[in-house]
Chain A
Amino acid sequence: MQAIFIILGALAVAVGGYRWYAGFIDRKVIQADPHRVTPAKMYMDGVDFMPTSKYVLFGYQFKSIAGAGPVVGAIIALQWGWLPAMLWLFLGVLFIGWVHDYVSGMVAMRSDGLSLGGLSYKLISPRARVILLSFIYFYLLLLAGAFGGVIAGALIKLTSGPVAMLVLALAGVLAGQMIYRWRTNILVTTVVCVALALIGIKLGEMLPTPSILGASVAANKFTWGLFAVIFCYISAILPIWRFALPLNYVAFYIVMFGLVGGIIGILVGLPPVQAPAFTQFTIGIGPLWPIFFVTIACGAISGWHSMVSTCGTCRQLEYETDAKPVLAGSMFVEMLLAVVALMTAAAAMPFSQYKEIMTKGGGAGPVFATGLSNFLNIIGLPLAYGKTMGTVIIIVLALTVMQLVLRFMKVATVELVGDRAPILRSGPVATFVAAALTLFLVQTGWWQYLWILFGGANQLLSSLALLVASAWLLSQGKKATFTLIPMWFMFITTIAALIYTSYNLLSKVLTGQVKAATGQTLLEATVGNGLMGLVALFLVVAAVILLKDGLQALGRYKEHGAAAAAEAK
């Protein structure tokens, strides 16, 4: 089987699904009306509510939703074989993913740009908002921990990465200075800083970290977990224009070079798929159902997208008819990205090499970097340079989201506990708390379990967003079957995955069967397993309470339609 056929299949699913299924729902069910005034036009404050071109929003939405998720998830899921991964990506996005992104955005747009919390308050119950926000806080903590684990694993093994990342960070700082202080022309800034970042990749190759830090420090998980957390802490503390924004701007070009180059490499080299179609039902981290379905999140379905759709994009849509290309379209394109990432593991290396890197070579990050470098080598880029570029790409994809999460957690900590503990009203202190919790998770948790918990929480959030969307549809007298069936599938699957993983973790702790991973002490592994297990249980309880309130709301809307929406308040 050639990799190109899988990519062509993905393209066919994306085009067909967008044109027919998404088109049908947009025209016949939601009935998007280009003449209806959107919140962007009605409020038009030039800040949050601002009519924006659909092409700009498409790029903005795609960049906001496509982080390390579609890359890492697809690579981990290859352990079950390429066929289940491909099928879940195709069918997941076709029946659940785009529906979730599109409908949550449309619901927010038709509700004057309310956020997910506001929508749950209005459509389900007042306590639904509190529970949802608490859920989101712990979900983001797991996200930061999971991404931090990916970064730490990558930097231990990909020793050319750290210096390249430092030079990229300097390039970002320089870009901020040039744009905002020196008012340098944007083209000049871009060329200078991107060139600096590309030179930094070469420098990383020439200065591997064991030769600078010493082997024992460079091979230590704590070192790189701390690196990632400090990086994000600085980003969260400094004014956003000084570090985070310009860094993301410069890094965008590196990511585009790498991904576009990799895709061209696949089209030119036509590599065959080397991984088996299916390995076995149960692997080390768990059975196909339910664990596989939470391992691949972004690319098939992801709750993160509903937060982006409701809080940002829907407030900028100029016409209702722009929602389909922006929200649904970007989800289909993300599926394509996930398929390309799957091919970096399935087609760019023998399956035995993939398994070795996953178990002893640092995990999904090095798999991606190695696979991408093989594809880039087809178009002439040296392997070592391509591998460093791949390292920088996967770390940037993870760090971009981690920075945002730490910023959010700073604000959330101040809001939620600032009154009871005045010291936490200080931004640096609140960020330190969030950073310390993240580092604790990275150090004490095994990165694959962290990924599954993050995936479970992420997918559970998506089912809750689908629940809110279903409530809105019923309150408007519309059919909600196309959201309710995915909602139930995701809810049952994710609850099962979280309970399964929590049981595994807690039973090991209680029976003394915890094994420390490389770079961990037994005490750290025991505490980490216990904490992860308890967080998973909390998420399950929160979701069940939300579901109970949600089902009551659905019952009201089925009977009384729009009148019940007023009763929910």
Chain B
Amino acid sequence: MTEKKGGFLKAVKEFIYGMAAHDSARFALKTRAQMEHLFILVTMGDLVGVPLLPPYYSLRLLPYVVPQIATWKRRMLREKDLTDALA
């Protein structure tokens, strides 16, 4: 009996939530999704065929860059200090 009463109260609560606030919650979720999808479009739009410049030129330049990648990585990630300025 207690379970049935609890279930009925839960149903009433959900019904009132559905009438009063569900569309607000859906709107908030849609807004968040739109922001996220915009970010993904800007960064990975080439996955859906949008010709984004950075990935396109990266591919064009890749054959020329490959020989230098190891050196570049070493230099970017090496620890530096002031004395390097003397060199």
- Cβ–Cβ contact A245 & B14, under 8 A: no
Collect the chain B residues with CB atoms within 8 Å of residue A256's CB.
19
A375 within 8 A of B: no
Please report the C-alpha to C-alpha distance between residue A277 and residue B36 in the assembled complex, in whole angstroms.
59
Closest residue on chain B to residue A404 by CB atoms: B23
Segment 6-45 of B: residues with Cβ below 8 Å from A: 10-12, 14-24, 26-31, 33
- Cβ–Cβ contact B27 & A252, under 8 A: no
- Cβ–Cβ contact A58 & B30, under 8 A: no
- Cβ–Cβ contact B16 & A241, under 8 A: no
Please report the C-alpha to C-alpha distance between residue A59 and residue B16 in the assembled complex, in whole angstroms.
6
Segment 46-67 of B: residues with Cβ below 8 Å from A: none
- Cβ–Cβ contact B33 & A47, under 8 A: yes
Collect the chain B residues with CB atoms within 8 Å of residue A137's CB.
none
Collect the chain B residues with CB atoms within 8 Å of residue A351's CB.
none
Please report the C-alpha to C-alpha distance between residue A48 and residue B26 in the assembled complex, in whole angstroms.
8
- Cβ–Cβ contact A55 & B15, under 8 A: yes
Point out the residue from A56, A61, A64, A240 that lies within 8 Å of B17, measured CB to CB.
Answer: A56
- Cβ–Cβ contact A53 & B14, under 8 A: yes
- Cβ–Cβ contact B23 & A60, under 8 A: yes
- Cβ–Cβ contact B22 & A56, under 8 A: yes
How many residues of chain B get a CB closer than 8 Å to chain A's CBs? 21
CB distance from B39 to the nearest CB of A (A): 15
Please report the C-alpha to C-alpha distance between residue A152 and residue B55 in the assembled complex, in whole angstroms.
57
- Cβ–Cβ contact A56 & B18, under 8 A: yes
Closest residue on chain B to residue A252 by CB atoms: B20
A214 within 8 A of B: no
Point out the residue from B11, B26, B28, B31 that lies within 8 Å of A55, measured CB to CB.
Answer: B11
| Chain B binding surface, main DSSP class | helix
- Cβ–Cβ contact B19 & A59, under 8 A: yes
A62 within 8 A of B: yes
Please report the C-alpha to C-alpha distance between residue A52 and residue B22 in the assembled complex, in whole angstroms.
10
Closest residue on chain B to residue A316 by CB atoms: B26
How many residues of chain A get a CB closer than 8 Å to chain B's CBs? 26
Collect the chain B residues with CB atoms within 8 Å of residue A88's CB.
none
Point out the residue from A46, A246, A248, A249 that lies within 8 Å of B29, measured CB to CB.
Answer: A46
A63 within 8 A of B: yes
- Cβ–Cβ contact B29 & A63, under 8 A: no
Please report the C-alpha to C-alpha distance between residue A248 and residue B24 in the assembled complex, in whole angstroms.
9
Collect the chain A residues with CB atoms within 8 Å of residue B17's CB.
56, 59
- Cβ–Cβ contact A59 & B23, under 8 A: no
Collect the chain B residues with CB atoms within 8 Å of residue A50's CB.
26, 29
Point out the residue from A53, A64, A241, A249 that lies within 8 Å of B20, measured CB to CB.
Answer: A249
**A52, A55, A246, A249: most-surrounded residue (chain B CB, <10 A):** A55
Point out the residue from B18, B27, B28, B31 that lies within 8 Å of A58, measured CB to CB.
Answer: B18
Closest residue on chain B to residue A246 by CB atoms: B24
Collect the chain A residues with CB atoms within 8 Å of residue B16's CB.
59
Collect the chain A residues with CB atoms within 8 Å of residue B31's CB.
241
A45 within 8 A of B: yes
Please report the C-alpha to C-alpha distance between residue A46 and residue B19 in the assembled complex, in whole angstroms.
19
Closest residue on chain B to residue A253 by CB atoms: B20
CB distance from B41 to the nearest CB of A (A): 15
- Cβ–Cβ contact A47 & B30, under 8 A: yes
Collect the chain B residues with CB atoms within 8 Å of residue A56's CB.
14-15, 17-18, 22
A57 within 8 A of B: yes
- Cβ–Cβ contact B29 & A47, under 8 A: yes
Contact string against B for A residues 61-97, beta-carbon threshold 8 Å, 1 for contact and 0 otherwise:
1111000000000000000000000000000000000
- Cβ–Cβ contact A59 & B27, under 8 A: no
Collect the chain B residues with CB atoms within 8 Å of residue A241's CB.
24, 27-28, 31
Point out the residue from B10, B14, B26, B30 that lies within 8 Å of A59, measured CB to CB.
Answer: B14
- Cβ–Cβ contact A59 & B22, under 8 A: yes
Collect the chain B residues with CB atoms within 8 Å of residue A59's CB.
14-20, 22
Per CB-CB distance, the 8 closest pairs between chain A and chain B, nearest first, are: A59-B18, A55-B14, A59-B19, A56-B18, A59-B15, A47-B33, A60-B18, A63-B19
Query: What are 21 sample pairs from A and B whose C-beta atoms fall under 8 A apart?
Result: A55-B10, A55-B11, A55-B18, A56-B15, A56-B18, A57-B22, A58-B15, A59-B15, A59-B16, A59-B17, A59-B19, A59-B20, A63-B18, A63-B19, A63-B20, A64-B23, A240-B27, A245-B23, A248-B23, A249-B20, A249-B21
Known: A50-B26, A56-B22, A57-B18. 14 other contacts (CB 8 A): A45-B33, A46-B29, A47-B30, A53-B18, A55-B10, A55-B12, A55-B14, A56-B17, A56-B18, A58-B15, A59-B14, A59-B20, A60-B22, A245-B27
